[in-house]
Structure 1
Amino acid sequence: MKLATLKDGTRDGQLVVVSRDLRTAVIPDGIVTTLQRALDDWAFYAPQLIELYDALNQGRARNAFSFDPKSCMAPLPRAFQWADGSAYVNHVELVRRARGAEMPPEFWTDPLMYQGGSDDFIGPTDDIVCASESYGIDFEAEVAVITSDVGMAPTPDEALKSVRLLMLVNDVSLRNLIPAELAKGFGFFQSKPATAFSPVAVTPDELGDAWREGRVHRPMIVHWNGKKVGQPECGVDMVFHFGQLIAHAAKTRNLRAGSIVGSGTISNKDATRGYCCIAEKRCLETIEHGAAQTAFMKFGDSVRIEIFDEAGRSIFGSIDQAVVQLEH
């Protein structure tokens, strides 16, 4: 099943069911109005939404209309929890190598995770708004899951069963603000502006065999200003699967339905697969040449993030954003 949230002038938008080919959609009138409400009582609402989804795919849904990603908010426009991990430890290792820092061995056994702002997500085609290019504007292509309720201290296997939906993420980073924030010892805040998500969130079964062992086994395709810069395999070099990431987030607290847990930037040890964030490219340049050569994003730049199935069909739709300057 594929679900999206359309802009309707409210904070939480209008939930719609989207066809598998992403061409049509239908409002689940009489069922549920928002994705958060559906997640709050998934056992009750999901079967009804799936029935409508089947009817839409078979051309039997009444009042179906053309689906336009430009009309989408994030599938969850605001969430109770946004916890982003760093499951691709290769990315962390490259960053530390580039600045001459040692890699703590526990990073391979205990996930890194930060708690991001979840009150103001943006849609897949909404602009990346920034006050200054000097902040070091960077994209980060990731996969994220949305969970049901998760009790405290689950095993990874138990935690994995809580996955209800998957999405793509552009976890925008302002790289030049990060060092000063981390030096304070409290983690990211100003360096992490509004996060964007794919047009649709999909149930795990939509991925077929590409969803296994708590990982998405498909390439993440990233275009920067129309040029393909990355196609790393999401299922390769992901040290911590989503069950482990969710269990880490819930070690000392409950997670409530609608919590979003991210994978962190997709990164492969095979550098020929390209990159999902500019920072990684700059790290490789620093390691090889002694200094970074690639600049961060400028106003007017664009980024496109997408995953396709084996037949070349978009699974989640694309995140397709431009960088614009904040207007005062």
Structure 2
Amino acid sequence: MKFVTFEKPNGSNRAGWILNEAYAVDMHEATDGRLPCNLIEFLDNSEENIKIAAALSLTIDHKGVYLLSDLHLKAPLPNPRSFRDFYAFEQHVKTARENRGLKMIPEWYEIPVFYFSNHMAIKGSGEEIIKPKECDWLDFELEVACIIGKTGRNISAAEADDYIFGYCVLNDWSARDLQRKEMKVGLGPAKGKDFSTSIGPWIITKDELERFRTGKGFDLAMKARVNSVQLSKGNLKELYFSFGEMIERASAGVTLYPGEVIGSGTVGTGCILELGEKVHPWLKPGDKVELEIENLGILENTIIEESR
């Protein structure tokens, strides 16, 4: 199933799922209130709620079913409970460090590392991204997000799949000049990531991807385009650390809750920092960035100038 959050013609925001690729179901309306209005509450009891959703026999004439063309899709999880972004693709890490004259550090191979980013600055596909005023080196990052669907603590990598609700495309926008300066102090990234993160266009449940599983990831092609020109090409099967290993690390001594987001980190070739400015200059207002991942959809955003 593909879960979405959308704005209805009357201006209300609701959550539900895609039906027949052309319709969206308002899950609260279609079930006479048995399912909640938003995805966070749905995830709080995701196993039981998915059973309710899957058992519904809906037609396009059913109450609560709307044409997608009449709706405005939002970020599928507009206010996640947290956002941890990992650093799990070796090619990206190696190349980005080589471009700065740095060697790989052995500790990277020992543990999957992550940072926390601003979970209250989430954007959806089609939404505009405001370039920070003080940023001249704006970058995209081609990633996958994993959505936690069950509470757990000290989760092993082997059992982590039981705690995953689904996956979606993720763009971890980066103000590279801000990031570079603050990380010289020994902390961060923080302000360099603070302004926006995009996810969408929907969250696909984990069962839909099982047939693509291979190695530590999934055989899913990943591409990035800027102004319709393809810059990046990778595959989710290239993960050095699996999402299970990321969840094991994140949950060590810590309770994870439904609605938390785990990012994969950038796939190889998946950002301008790695590709170099000779391939493409830093992003500027008016640029349109499209991230496409096979079976997960296309996440599209346009950069705009800060208005004040």
TM more than 0.5: yes
How far residue 62 of structure 1 moved from its aligned partner, in angstroms, is 4.0
**Structure 2: which amino acid aligns with 1:176?**
D
How far residue 123 of structure 1 moved from its aligned partner, in angstroms, is 1.1
Equivalent in the alignment of 2:250: 249
Looking at secondary structure, tell me which structure has more strand per residue. Answer: 2
The reply on whether 1:5 has 2:9 as its aligned counterpart is no
How far residue 160 of structure 1 moved from its aligned partner, in angstroms, is 2.5
Alignment deviations for residues 147-193 of structure 1 (CA, whole Å, 9 cap, x no partner)? 12343322111223211111110110111111111112221111012
TM-score by length of 1: 0.85
How far residue 127 of structure 1 moved from its aligned partner, in angstroms, is 0.7
Q: 1:278 aligns with which of 272, 281, 301?
A: 272
CA contact (8 A) 1:222 1:231 kept: yes
CA contact (8 A) 2:127 2:301 kept: yes
Equivalent in the alignment of 2:38: 34
Q: Pairwise CA RMSD of aligned residues?
A: 2.4
TM-score by length of 2: 0.90
Question: Alignment partner of 2:152: what SS?
Answer: coil
CA contact (8 A) 1:204 1:211 kept: no
How far residue 221 of structure 1 moved from its aligned partner, in angstroms, is 2.1
Within 5 Å, which residues of 2 pair with 1:70-149?
A: 71-132=72-133, 134-149=135-150
**Structure 1: which amino acid aligns with 2:51?**
P
Give percent identity, aligned residues only. Answer: 26
- Cα distance between partner residues in 1 of 2:279 and 2:76: 36
- Cα distance between partner residues in 2 of 1:68 and 1:140: 28
**Structure 1: which amino acid aligns with 2:260?**
S
- Cα distance between partner residues in 1 of 2:299 and 2:71: 10
Alignment deviations for residues 89-117 of structure 1 (CA, whole Å, 9 cap, x no partner)? 22111111111222111211211211111
Question: Alignment partner of 2:115: what SS?
Answer: strand
CA contact (8 A) 2:46 2:150 kept: no
How far residue 133 of structure 1 moved from its aligned partner, in angstroms, is 7.5
Equivalent residues, number: 302
Equivalent in the alignment of 1:194: 196
The reply on whether 1:47 has 2:41 as its aligned counterpart is no
| Unaligned stretches of 5+ residues in structure 1 | 268-274, 286-291, 309-314
**Structure 2: which amino acid aligns with 1:13?**
N
CA contact (8 A) 2:85 2:117 kept: yes
- Cα distance between partner residues in 1 of 2:135 and 2:260: 32
**Structure 2: which amino acid aligns with 1:14?**
R
CA contact (8 A) 1:133 1:299 kept: no
Question: Alignment partner of 2:147: what SS?
Answer: strand
- Cα distance between partner residues in 1 of 2:261 and 2:231: 27
| Unaligned stretches of 5+ residues in structure 2 | none
Question: Alignment partner of 1:232: what SS?
Answer: strand
Alignment deviations for residues 265-310 of structure 1 (CA, whole Å, 9 cap, x no partner)? 111xxxxxxx32111101xx7xxxxxx56311111111111223xx
